[in-house]
């Protein structure tokens, strides 16, 4: 299972090979935590991948630690990227996946995407503070 995730990390994120998504996802694969609704099937994940790769010149997913048991994989990972203007960001997170026969059946992704996009300067630096205080983002200091 670790080999599947490491191959996914290399082919999908470092090499940015969208064909690997079709090869490595089960037809009804569900990916949670990458937006308000699960991404179902390879086409929805490829659309997500295309948007993120369009924003970032370079992307990388590194597996730091992992635990495997009974067809399930939990992995502590770091996702990083660089924009065309040189701005860089990284986010640590966890992927919890069910894998069988080299295919991802289901993946729960838990990454600090707010921190990631804050590092890139795409959301105000006080966004988390505003949300935690109940103030809408962009309504003053």
Query: Which pLDDT score is estimated for 140?
Result: 62
Would the pLDDT of 116 be above 70? yes
9 CB-side CA count, 13 A? 19
Helices H / strands E in the chain, number of each: 5, 6
| Region 2-112: CATH code | 3.10.450.50
The pLDDT value recorded for residue 85 is 97
pLDDT higher for 88 or 102?
88
Q: Please write the tens of the pLDDT for every residue from 21-60.
A: 999 999 999 999 999 999 999 999 999 999 999 999 999 9
The domain locations on the chain are 2-112
Residue with tokens 């599947």: 4
Query: CA–CA separation, 84 vs 67, rounded Å?
Result: 35
0.85 exceeded by the pTM? yes
Residues 29 and 106: beta-carbon distance below 8 Å = yes
- Give the Cα separation of 10 and 28 in Å (integer): 22
Q: What is the mean pLDDT of residues 3-27?
A: 97
What span, in angstroms and rounded, lies between the C-alpha atoms of 48 and 4? 20
Per-residue pLDDT reduced to its tens digit, 56-84: 999 999 999 999 999 899 999 999 999 99
């Amino acid at each position: 299972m670790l080999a599947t995730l490491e191959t996914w990390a290399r082919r999908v994120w470092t090499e940015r090979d969208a064909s690997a998504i079709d090869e490595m996802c089960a037809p009804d694969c569900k990916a949670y935590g990458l937006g308000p609704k699960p991404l179902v099937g390879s086409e929805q994940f490829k659309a997500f991948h295309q948007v993120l790769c369009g924003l970032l010149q370079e992307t990388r997913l590194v597996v730091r630690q992992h635990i495997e048991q009974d067809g399930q994989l939990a992995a502590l990972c770091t996702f990083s990227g660089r924009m065309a203007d040189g701005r860089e960001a990284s986010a640590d997170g966890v992927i919890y996946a069910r894998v069988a026969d080299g295919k991802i059946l289901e993946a729960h992704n838990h990454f600090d995407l707010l921190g990631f996009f804050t590092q890139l300067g795409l959301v105000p630096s006080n966004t988390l503070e505003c949300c935690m205080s109940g103030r809408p983002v962009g309504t003053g200091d």
